């Protein structure tokens, strides 16, 4: 039956809402879906029309039961948190509001709002699971690195004896120092329970060290900016591991800006620090946490890659190893923290959260 003018005006107003709205007929078929519903369900209103709740979702039973109650006018509106499963897509964690309408042709309206908190908890759980996988990867990788490191250091010492002059000694000492630094890091990764060796450290000193290293590698046209909160206190952490984690993420940003292309690049990286109150990490609530952001204005990460970036061996670059981000996540997780990522073209932000314990 054609939609009357008054009804059409009401539906047009629903199209302006930010939350997804579905209007159903008595057989639970869609009569209308607003623009937000089209985005959420990844389909146009034209294609959604006449589909039932059973067509849209793999587990419509609970939603159908609420729909039937609304159809029988057992309530004016009902609110529930639901997980709606779909074929070939991620489940929807939604706050659902089902409203009975005084219209026999369109008797029920369903409003769906993404449950942001639940989505965040689910994402954290996935990241923690990934971190457990990454721990084993890093452990195995550390074993593989340890033996050649000893050979590199030994060869540098032999060269130093062969060429004791000052000029050659400068180069061999660089090799020996870097081999010792990597050996120290590997030993910590392979130590008892692979726990960090923590001391009070200043996160700004760590980020400044990373900034100097990255600026030395960056091609002309890329700038590294700082946006620090000077009130942030020192945190109990392993300095070398935090440097490694921040360096891996920042180099990832540098590569996203085209440092590997061989040509001039235009881009910006921002190192930012803030404090955050009442932060939940892995189901545990912390009164205070440090947030270290590494932001770039590169092309962004494809949506299909967002759920995979912290998995080992996942990379979009032919020359990439796919280990930088997993190792960074593992090192931050060893400190009781977490790395999250938000990305869109022109703005990608990796946020590293480190709890500050029970400080007020």
Query: 82 has which bridge partners?
Result: 94
Residue 319: exposed, middle, or buried by beta-carbon count in 10 A (0-12, 13-18, 19+)?
exposed
At residue 196, φ and ψ (nearest 5 deg) are: -65, 150
pLDDT of residue 312: 63
**pLDDT above 90 as % of the chain:** 17
Q: Which CATH architecture has domain 5-114?
A: 2-Layer Sandwich (3.30)
pLDDT of residue 217: 84
Q: Where are the domains of the chain?
A: 5-114, 120-355
Between CA 87 and CA 108 the distance in angstroms is 24
Query: 273 has which bridge partners?
Result: 292
Query: Which residue positions in the chain have pLDDT lower than 50?
Result: 1-2, 191-193, 259-264, 358-360
Digit-coded pLDDT (tens) for 140-170: 777 777 778 888 888 888 888 888 777 778 8
pLDDT of residue 225: 93
Digit-coded pLDDT (tens) for 70-103: 888 777 666 777 888 887 777 787 888 888 888 8
Confirm whether 5-114 and 120-355 share one CATH topology.
no
Three-state SS at 296: strand
Write down how long the chain is. 360
The CATH code that applies to domain 120-355 is 3.30.565.10
Torsion of CA 184, 185, 191, 197, to 10 degrees: 90
Three-state SS at 152: helix
pTM of the model: 0.54
């Amino acid at each position: 039956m054609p939609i009357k003018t008054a009804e059409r005006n009401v539906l047009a107003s629903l199209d302006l809402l930010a939350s997804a709205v579905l209007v159903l007929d008595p057989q639970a078929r869609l009569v209308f879906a607003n623009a937000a519903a089209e985005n959420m369900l990844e389909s146009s209103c034209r294609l959604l029309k006449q589909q039932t709740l059973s067509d849209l979702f793999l587990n419509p039973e609970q939603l159908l039961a609420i729909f039937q109650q609304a159809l029988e006018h057992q309530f004016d509106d009902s609110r529930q948190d639901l997980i709606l499963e779909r074929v070939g897509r991620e489940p929807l964690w939604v706050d659902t509001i089902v409203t009975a309408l005084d219209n026999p042709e369109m008797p029920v309206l369903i409003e769906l709002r993404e449950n942001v908190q639940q989505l965040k908890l689910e994402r954290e759980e996935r990241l923690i699971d990934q971190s457990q996988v990454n721990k084993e990867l890093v452990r195995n990788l550390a074993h593989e690195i340890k033996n050649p490191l000893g050979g590199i250091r030994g060869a540098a010492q032999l060269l130093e004896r062969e060429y004791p002059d000052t000029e050659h000694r400068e180069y061999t000492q660089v090799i020996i120092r870097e081999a010792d630094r990597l050996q120290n890091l590997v030993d910590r990764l392979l130590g008892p329970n692979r726990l960090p060796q923590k001391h009070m450290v200043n996160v700004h000193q760590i980020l400044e060290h990373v900034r100097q290293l990255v600026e030395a590698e960056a091609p002309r046209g890329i700038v590294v900016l700082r946006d620090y909160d000077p009130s942030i206190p020192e945190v109990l952490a392993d300095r070398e591991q935090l440097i490694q984690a921040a360096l891996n993420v920042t180099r990832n940003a540098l590569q996203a800006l085209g440092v590997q292309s061989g040509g001039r690049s235009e881009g910006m990286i921002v190192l930012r620090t803030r404090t955050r109150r009442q932060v939940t990490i892995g189901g545990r609530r912390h009164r205070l946490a440090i947030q270290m952001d590494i932001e770039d204005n590169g092309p962004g990460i494809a949506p299909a890659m967002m759920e995979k970036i912290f998995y080992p061996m996942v990379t979009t670059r032919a020359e990439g190893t796919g280990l930088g981000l997993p190792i960074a996540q593992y090192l931050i997780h060893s400190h009781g923290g977490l790395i999250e990522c938000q990305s869109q073209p022109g703005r990608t932000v990796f946020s590293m959260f480190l709890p500050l314990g029970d400080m007020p």
